[in-house]
Amino acid sequence: MLVLMALLLGLGELVIRSVHLLRDGIPFFESNAGGRIGPITLDQDLGWKATEHYQEALVEKTQQGTLYPVRRSQTQYGFRQFGDLKSNRLKMLVIGDSFTHATAVSDDTTYHAILAKLLNIEVFAYGVGGYGTLQEFLVLDRYLDVIRPDVILWQYCINDFINNDNQLERLSRINNNGWVRPYWLQGHIQLLSPKESSIQVRDWINRHSRFLYFVVTRLDRLRASQTRDTVEVDIEAEGIRHAGFARAVGVTDELMAQVRARVAQRPIMAFNCVEKEPYSQALRDISAHHGITYWDDVARTVQAAAERGEDVYASDGGHWNEHGHELAAKALAKHISTELSLSPAQK
């Protein structure tokens, strides 16, 4: 049995590494010990980050089944978009999670790339799938003094509250990728696993076996798709009365206070990628608390288009496809133009 298991593991590793070589250009014998998992690289401070100088060409599918080509890349420091540091144009730093990472669309069709064109500004956009607010703040802290932006655009998402609280994330089946991440606990950063398995087991799999990583993550997704036993159901029923959610709102508020302190008087503008209660009201309150301009109609614009039958989502049914990004960008452009009083030349 042990020999058979070893042979199966070896065969699985052979197949996965061959796929990565042919599809993604990842060398067959490249060790995961460096933490690279395609567009993601493990990081001792952030948990994981966007892989620097990563490129990929593939075919994606919309939720309604339309195929379209995607050429995506991650540039300096892993940014999806890295503008000209020497430019005299207004510089905007965009921080977010998977909606800003935008792996389902090409470089020039992300909402932030479209914003750069519509507003004639320099955009620097960094987002990574699964990120919580602390990870986003740490990215901001790393690159704020490199970019020296004039304004910050912050992309919230409703999963932020789950990902900001280890206890909630352990109870979540749909917003838990199993990766070790930093959490803000009583004013200190602590790396913890959101799974019952130990940090050491998950970390070993992530770093050393592409096949086991493939198996474990697919099992996580399968469990998520087949159960309603997830903490989000209770939160949406109880709202702020849910003790764990109330605790996560407090942590998120503390983290956005850190963001405000770090950027000082620079304008911070924010939007949510999905409008859903009680998360949206919590984000409105947190934004108002820290002088952050918050727009709640961006996600609604995309959601309304979907309700009209327009094809706005990628194949996963949650993230935006090219049309969804375009709708979000146009809604944002109107707000940003007014908020910053951009001159006609800047528009």
Question: Confidence band (pLDDT; 50, 70, 90) for 159?
Answer: very high
Question: Residue 94, SS3?
Answer: strand
Environment class of 330 (CB within 10 Å of its CB; exposed 0-12, middle 13-18, buried 19+): middle
- Residue at 39: amino acid letter: P
Q: Which of 14-23, 95-104, 204-213, 288-297 has the lowest mean pLDDT?
A: 204-213
Using the predicted structure, report yes or no on whether residue 119 has a pLDDT greater than 90.
Answer: yes
Q: What is the pLDDT of residue 178?
A: 84
Considering just the CA atoms, what is the radius of gyration of the chain in Å?
20
Q: What confidence tens digit (pLDDT) does each residue in 184-205 have?
A: 999 999 999 898 765 556 666 6
Could you tell me what percent of the chain has a pLDDT over 70? Answer: 86
CA–CA separation, 312 and 166 (whole Å): 32
Q: Which residue bears the tokens 């890349």?
A: 73
Q: What is the pTM for the complete model shown?
A: 0.85
Cβ proximity of 98 and 127 under 8 Å = yes
Using the predicted structure, report yes or no on whether residue 270 has a pLDDT greater than 90.
Answer: yes
Question: Residue 18, SS3?
Answer: helix
- Residue at 318: amino acid letter: G
What's the chain's average pLDDT?
Answer: 90
Q: Which two tokens stand for residue 118?
A: 């519509």
Q: What is the pLDDT of residue 278?
A: 97
Using the predicted structure, report yes or no on whether residue 31 has a pLDDT greater than 80.
Answer: no
Average pLDDT over residues 60-87: 97
DSSP state of 24: I
CA–CA separation, 264 and 258 (whole Å): 10
Q: What confidence tens digit (pLDDT) does each residue in 326-346 have?
A: 999 999 999 999 999 865 444
Question: Confidence band (pLDDT; 50, 70, 90) for 228?
Answer: low
Q: What is the pLDDT of residue 110?
A: 98
Q: Which residues contact 329 (CB under 8 A, 6 or more apart)?
A: 111, 112, 114, 115, 118
In 78-186, which residue ranges form alpha helices assigned H by DSSP?
98-101, 111-119, 133-147, 160-163, 166-171
Q: What are the extents of the domains in the chain?
A: 1-30, 31-339
Angle between helices 210-225 and 2-19 (to 10 degrees): 90
We find that the CATH architecture of domain 31-339 is: 3-Layer(aba) Sandwich (3.40)
